[in-house]
Structure 1
Amino acid sequence: MMIRELMTAPAVTVTGETSVAAALQLLDTEKITAMPVVDHRGALVGLVSEADLVGDADLIEDRAPSTAIRTSGLTPARRVAEVMTHLVVTVDPDDDLEVAIDLMRTTMMKSLPVVQHRKVVGMLSRSDIIHLLAGRDQRIRDDVADLLAAENQDWQVEVHDGIVTVTGPSDPHQRRLAEVLAGTVRGVVAIRVSQRIS
């Protein structure tokens, strides 16, 4: 599976000039953990994540700070550029999903910007992959059932942890065909073909 098939697009992005408060609000509203930081052309310049934004304990304190500073003018809001990560690992939308999974595993990154021609085109997160894995058995069952339905309407298909159990007619040729067809579906770990007991 290619990354473009699973990524969230378009990505929710911010610029370096976005305030930290606005970035926090976006993460909360969009229910995401990180956002690409882009320049005015949409090119990636960094990444801002929950970890970057929650590092400021002063945001949580609700009592008056003991070291408050008195100023005579306006105090500028903190900007994303002050807290973002500048070195960012990216993937291409045409990369295989395995590339992203391997990068997440080796870099401990939870989200990866998807970049094509230097522009951010999407975002891929661990939660996207978890969602795919959680629905894997149902997807495999549907794909196998569709393939078998074209040959014979009398097959029953069950899938648990990628193991396909096909139950149906006793004809050896049809059973072998069911095994071959089920084996063509991506994600199948093993296949059991059995005869339906009347």
Structure 2
Amino acid sequence: MRVSELMTTPAITVLGETPVTEVLHLLDRNQITAVPVVDRHGRLVGVVSEADLIPDMLLVEDRVPSYPIRLSAGVRPRRAVELMAHLVMSVRADEDVDSAIDLLRETMVKSLPVVDHNQEVVGVISRSDVIHHLAGRDARILNNILDLLRERDLDWQVDVDDGVVRIHGPITALDRERAESIAGSVPGVLAVHTS
């Protein structure tokens, strides 16, 4: 399976000049943990995450001036470029999803920008995308096996639990071997039992 099949698209992105408060609201409103920062051509230049925002926003909240603040003309809101991580991990849309899962598992990041061959952001893959995919694994396996059985006019009962397939109905040794072969050909199957 390719990253492009599992990623969330289109990606929510911001520009470097996006105000930090806008990034904060964007993460909150969309219930995401990070946002890719792109240039005017949509190419990845950084990422702003919750981890970048929390210390910064808490520092601002704790400042209580003891005197009136007079703003000068040069004061402007802080921008995404000031907080973003510049050395960003990303994955390509055409990569195998296992490489993205390995990166998510081995690092502290919760999501990865997905880029095309021009480094333009085309999506995001997150831990929650992987969890959603894994949660539907048994249903996908079951549907694939049932489709294969229907193609062969076989009316066997199939149950799938955590990648383990149980097929009820094959009577002869040849039928049991056939059932194991059919179910074993489906990606994600860990074991096949017949009865």
Q: Normalising by structure 1, report the TM-score.
A: 0.90
**1:123 aligns to 2:121 (yes or no):** no
Tell whether 2:99 aligns with 1:99: yes
- Runs (4+) off by over 3 Å: 58-61, 66-69
Aligned to 2:53: 53
1:69–1:164 Cα change, 3 Å? farther
Contact 1:154–1:169 (CA under 8 A) maintained in structure 2: no
What is the TM-score normalised by the length of structure 2? Answer: 0.92
Structure 1 residues 29 and 105, CA gap change in structure 2 (3 angstroms): same
Q: Kindly, what percent of the aligned residue pairs are identical?
A: 51
Contact kept? 1:44, 1:119, Cα under 8 Å: yes
Q: 1:157 to 1:90 in 2, by over 3 A?
A: same
Deviation at 1:31? 1.4
Corresponding residue for residue 174 of structure 2: 173
- Which residue identity lines up with residue 48 of structure 1 in the other structure? V
Structure 1, unpaired ranges of 5+: none
Map Cα deviations across residues 101-134 of structure 1 (whole Å, 9 max, x no partner): 1111222221111111211111000000011111
- CA RMSD between the two structures: 1.7
Rounded to whole Å, the distance in 1 between the matches of 2:106 and 2:67 is: 42
Q: 1:22-101 alignment to 2 at 5 Å? A: 22-56=22-56, 57-58=58-59, 60=61, 65-66=64-65, 70-74=69-73, 75-101=75-101
Distance in 2 (CA, whole Å) between partners of 1:184 and 1:169 is 17
Give the whole-Å Cα distance in 2 for the aligned partners of 1:149 and 1:142.
10
Q: SS of 1:8's equivalent?
A: coil
Number of residue pairs matched by the alignment: 192
Cα offset, 1:180, TM superposition: 0.4
Deviations 1:35-58 (A, max 9, x none): 110000111100011111111214
Q: Distance in 2 between matches of 1:132 and 1:21?
A: 32
- 8 Å Cα contact 1:33-1:50 kept in structure 2: yes
Whichever residue aligns with residue 73 of structure 1, its letter is S
- 2:15 match: secondary structure: coil
Q: Per-residue deviation at 1:77?
A: 0.9
Mapped contact 2:27–2:33 kept (Cα < 8 A): yes
Aligned AA (1:76): R
Instruction: Summarize deviations over 1:21-79 as a string: whole Å, max 9, x none.
Output: 11111111111111110000111100011111111214555xx7145672243531111
Distance 1:153 1:191 in 2: 17
Residues 36 and 169 of structure 1: is their aligned pair in 2 closer, same or farther, counting only changes over 3 Å? same
Measure, in 2, the Cα distance between the counterparts of 1:46 and 1:99: 20
8 A contact 1:149–1:155 mirrored in 2: no
